[in-house]
Homo-oligomer: A and B are copies of this chain.
Amino acid sequence: MELDKRREAILAAVIHRYITTAEPVSSSTIAEKYNLNLSSATIRHEMNLLEKSDYLWQPHTSAGRVPTDKGYRFYVDNLMKKTDLEESKKEQIMQIYRKSKEFEQTMKITSQLLSRLTNNIGLVLEPDFINNSLRRVQLTPVGNNRILVLIITDTGLVYQKLINLSGEISEDNLNYLSNFINSKLQEKNIDLANLYNILKEELKRILSLQEQFVFIHSLIEDCFNYRYFKDKVYLNGRINLIRQPEFRETEKLDYLLSFIEKENILAETIRRCLVWENTQVIIGQENRPKEMQDCSLITREYKIKGKPAGAIGILGPTRMDYSRVISIVEYISETLSEILSEF
């Protein structure tokens, strides 16, 4: 697993070259374009050894070398120098964010930024509702026994859910409930699970038995039971991948894209690899879902007022400019955290 400096330099050069040209890299290119002061023969020799230890491979005998997953892994862990995003790019990003005052649009913009800046697929996971404390709940009748429930969290996020009751409820009762909930919420910060219990108790107290049957089921179970809250993933830039030579064959792309359309599975996949305040890089075969094993996934959490909220990421072929992509993901996660905290 240990490589001497020279071999490392050659590996880095091969990866750098392959990332930019997408074509197998020959020993002579390295000798010419990278100032290693070595002849192509020496480089050839070293490349041969790198191949023997699985950092590189050859598509065929008379072709140049291509990095393996292991090669990329070593590069990311040991060789890559972290770059900072140029100030002008940072400014551009800020400008685009400034246009949006709305939560949903901010999410959308984020996924767009991620995909455009990296030419890969941009991913944004909505803030995880469960972790939040609640600030306010509002029940509004919408007609035909339907109620619009607004849940406003401490972090300023607004969730809405429209529910159908199987029976009637008076507007007075609804107001009473709203007020009851809000006064409870003001006493101390309460999360969804708490609210679920408190509300259930209160409904039992104030409602008749039949009424209980109607409301405890449709209002409480459908709405305040956290299991209801589904994963939402903002996806952008699927099309970018058809420009990548690794997806020249459309079946491959089809295979990947069909997979990532499954929102909940994708969200779970992303969540699984998150590490607090760390950018995660999952390369090729390291990905659990076999559909993603030709790709690398870069993820990072974002925060709202210091608390973990959701995650962003990018997905693209293993041949990607890791250094740049990581710096983009990190800057965007930081910026998004700031912006959502101000909301």
Using CB atoms and an 8 Å cutoff, list the residues of chain A in contact with chain B.
Answer: 101-103, 135-136, 138, 140-144, 146, 148, 150, 152, 156, 158, 160-164, 238-239, 242-243, 248, 250, 253-254, 257-258, 261, 343
Contact = CB atoms under 8 A, between A and B. Distances in A.
Given A101-B164, A158-B162, A250 B254 contact: no
Contacts of A239: 238, 253-254, 257-258, 261
B238 A243 contact: no
Q: How many copies of this protein are present in the complex?
A: 2
Nearest to A230: B105
B152 A142 contact: yes
Contacts of A163: 101
Given A101-B162, A158-B160, A238-B239, 15 more contacts: A136-B140, A136-B141, A138-B140, A140-B150, A143-B152, A146-B156, A146-B343, A148-B150, A148-B158, A238-B238, A239-B258, A242-B242, A242-B253, A242-B254, A248-B250
Contact of A135 (B135, B143, B150): B143
A102 B230 CA distance: 13
9 contacts: A101-B164, A102-B162, A135-B143, A136-B141, A140-B150, A142-B156, A144-B343, A239-B254, A239-B258
A97 B199 CA distance: 31
A342 to B, nearest CB: 8
A275 B248 CA distance: 40
